[in-house]
Chains A and B, each alone.
Chain A
Amino acid sequence: MLLNSYTFLLVFLPVVVVLYWVIPRGYPRLLFLIAANLFFYGLWDWRYVPLLLATTLVDWLAGHYLARSEDEGTSRRRKLLLAAAIVVNLAFLGYFKYRGFFVDSLDGVFKLFGAGKPMPAIRLLLPIGISFYTFAGISYAVDVYRGMIKPAKSVIHYLAWVTLFPYILAGPIIRYGHVGAQLERSQQRFRWALIGTGLFFVVMGLAKKMLVADMMAPYVNNLFSHHAHLGLLSGWGAALGYTLQLYFDFSGYSDMAVGVAIMIGLRFPQNFDSPYKAVNPSDFWRRWHMTLSGWLRDYLFIPLGGSRGTTLFTVRNLLITFLLGGLWHGPAWTFVFWGLLWGVYQSVHVVAKKYGLTPKWVWLNRILTFIAATVAWVFFRATSMRAAADVLAAMAGLKGVAGEGILRVAPVLAAFIVGGLLWVNLLPNTWEIQPRPKLRYALLLGILLAAALLAMSKPSPFLYVQF
């Protein structure tokens, strides 16, 4: 079930919200929430529900035992226990998400040396959300190990958090210390303000997805599918189009997730903070997919040593972090390269900052960062390195100005690009708007909601669901 489907918006969500508030607080409500979560997840493919439970319960068990041995500090036994939990999580993730990629890559290496038969290729259906719940689970075990949080009050609280339906498909990556703790606190009473605020976020997110991202998608897809025939204008049309499409798609999903969570009294963390207003690569990642960049910072970059060493040491850590961050998005060389590119951007910024070489003019910094992001998104979107190279060559003007006649940037796409650029640069983001219970807000949101629902004639999954 997609968040942008009639079934979810008109049936599942209202039923769950009503029952959630009707059911008595405490364990009954949490049990109902777990049932709703598993039903929601199981609708996609019920066979993966046991996998979801098995993966995440490993972390709960690890957290349980780590908490009991808290007085041992950083003993070898605790470290082993934590390592085991992380290995189990990564093993599940690796097997389901990356097996095919590594087998294909190994095959390629063997073929290069003219040796070996092709390895048996098993293509498994990727359990939806595995990248998100695995990272959530790991963060739990590590936080308990570090003493950052107390372990979950009960397995019920833990499951209600880790399987939470608003985030399970595509994030944001929530941590027990934040959202789980809210479930532990005495759950609040129903208030219409919660529904009003939740609706505000849901409508804003749905409108971003259905009325902007999905309107751009056919044009962008068409340009990328003809990557070899693009010219300067169509190349930039493709890249800028995708840059905006992805932002409106994913920030739209995140807004919806936040809104749905608020309707059941939970506060999710912010995931986007006007990323295209960023003034340098580091700033960009404090604004884009904030929960992922926060995760990578806290559970990868800092354990690697962070920036507390020489510049070279920092650069090494940045490259490793972003390389793995890229690979997290998907088993493909384009993602690996995309991650590496961001690692290079960050490294260049660190070095430039150290030697005082960063431009002083804010707008120039913003433009440079935006162009860097746009170039990187080409690798993120392209289906192969060859396709990415074609688009970049077109953007560099190496394939002429116009490209093939049929691939001119459609006026509609051009309008969306101009409008989108103005939006992301000049307007406040959803978190900067204070929802107010006023009629004019209701009127605007009602029209937006109706338009978004009317644009939902065929299923179109959010882009990040595939990760």
Chain B
Amino acid sequence: MTPSDDPTPTTPDGSTELPLPGDPSYPTGSAEAPAIEAPLPAGKLKQRVIPDPPEMDQAAGRRAFWFVLALVLITAVVMAAVLALNVVADPYGSVGTHLFPTVTTSDRTVKADRIEALKQPPQLVVLGSSRSMRYEPSYLEKKTGLKTFNAGVNGIGGTADAWAMTQFIHQVWPESHPNYLWMVDVESFVPFEVQARTANEPRLAKFVGAATAGQGPLELAKAIWQNRTTMFSLSTAKDSLRLLIYRDKAKNSQSKYQKQILADGVLKQRLWSKKEWSRRYPNSVQRYSDLYKNVYHKLDPASQTYFEKTLKFMNDQGATPLLVLTPINPKLAKILNPLGRLVRHQQVVSYIESLQGKYQFKFIDLTDPSVFGFDPKQFYDGMHMTTINTEKAIDYILKQTGGVPPVTPPASGQ
């Protein structure tokens, strides 16, 4: 970059001796620059020739048109081929063609498998999002004497998931009448959308009206449009090809939840580490900040409908569920509160309390984890706790509510 190294032509005063831009003789591209080699005083600029980018022959008008057309068509053909491949293979079950098994086994699928594999029906079911997945059935069983199953699944929101899970358990064990520990999040009422993972598990999808099998071309087109990012994707194409080539082997290679979710539905214990915290906490700050800033501005009526529908079903089955508002790491709460979380929290509490006369349930707000003497170091991130904290929470819940209320099965035995 030192000017002395630069061989470009110069002008003694760097001003008007050279043609100016706009002048017919102004050098652009391949034009010959005036070759003046006099030394340049400090502070003065060289008039430099800036080469133009290489271009197609300007005279090749017709050929250039065909070139552009061919390029666009080839692009469209390749993209259409990839779309067709992804729709046919449908490796994640996004559009519901169901011609091949999916390559991913979601936590919904594993939980449904575990429920079907139970030797006796659960007497207590834990429901909720990922935050509920480390509430250990074995610990609850020790404290309550009730055979417990953890049916919590990943995903923000999820009142529809709770509905689907209760329905599925009832379908598998129609004679059973479990009670419920429902870990509700302040974020359970975000704008409603049936989780794709639920929609892709046929045993649950049918309860939330998201079953996709046997759909017509219009529905298929709609599903493709809704999943366009997944469908027009190279990584999806890679999985589609893997699926077509390896079939069931492809499925097994992706099912990480098979090992992580134990027979009673709980997520395998994992020790806290500083490294894990450093990796996960910033992500939760980002994720929930975005949620409160951009998405979660009011409680969503569709989420509320599923919430109440589930409560009614539980009551109809003779259960009086324990509703618990899940804890949040105070460090994260401090960041999210000004972004609208504090207001949403108040709205959720008011909403649940307003249902007291309408449905039977016990409600306890654990948003502030200091009420159960939490260990601040036992949060994996901003929301998820280790079992050290979940056990403390369980102790507190049972103490405050006087234990899990007994179930009074309906007389008709429905």
A interface vs B, CB < 8 Å? Answer: 143, 146-150, 176-178, 180-181, 184-185, 191-197, 199-201, 203, 225, 258, 262, 267-270, 282-283, 285-286, 293-294, 296-298, 301-303, 305-309, 314, 318, 346, 350, 431-439, 441-443, 445-447, 449-451, 453-455, 457-458
Contacts and interface: CB of A to CB of B under 8 A. Distances in A.
Interface of B: 1-6, 14-16, 20-22, 26, 28-29, 39-48, 50-68, 70-79, 82, 229-230, 232-235, 237, 279
B53 A201 contact: yes
A431 B52 CA distance: 9
Contact of A193 (B56, B73, B79): B56
B54 A437 contact: no
A431 B74 contact: no
B51 to A, nearest CB: 6
24 contacts: A149-B21, A150-B21, A192-B62, A196-B67, A197-B56, A203-B71, A258-B53, A268-B53, A296-B1, A302-B3, A306-B42, A435-B54, A435-B55, A436-B56, A437-B60, A437-B67, A438-B67, A439-B70, A441-B67, A446-B74, A450-B76, A451-B78, A454-B79, A455-B233
Contacts of A193: 55-61, 64
A191 B61 contact: yes
B44 A302 contact: yes
B43 A453 contact: no
Contact of A346 (B1, B22, B229): B1
Given A193-B58, A446-B71, A457 B53 contact: no
Contact of B229 (A176, A181, A293, A458): A458
A434 B46 CA distance: 29
Q: Which of B41, B78, B237 is most buried by chain A, counting CB atoms within 10 A of its CB?
A: B78
Contact of B55 (A262, A270, A285, A450): A262
Contacts of B59: 193
Given A450-B75, A457-B235, A178 B2 contact: no
B264 to A, nearest CB: 30
A305 B42 contact: yes
Nearest to B3: A306
Could you tell me the dominant secondary structure of chain A's interface residues? helix
Q: Which of B44, B46, B50, B63 is most buried by chain A, counting CB atoms within 10 A of its CB?
A: B50
Contacts of B78: 446-447, 450-451
Nearest to A180: B21
Could you tell me the dominant secondary structure of chain B's interface residues? loop
Contacts of B40: 302, 308
A301 B233 CA distance: 47
B43 A301 contact: no
Contacts of A197: 53-56
A192 B53 contact: no
B44 A146 contact: yes
A267 B2 contact: no
Nearest to B80: A450
B63 A437 contact: yes
A282 B229 CA distance: 44
Contact of B70 (A434, A442, A451): A442
A178 B21 contact: yes
Given A177-B21, A318-B2, A262 B53 contact: yes
B22 A307 contact: no
Contacts of A442: 67, 70-71, 74
A437 B64 contact: yes
Contacts of B29: 267
Q: Which of A197, A282, A438 is most buried by chain B, counting CB atoms within 10 A of its CB?
A: A197
Contacts of A146: 14-15, 44-45
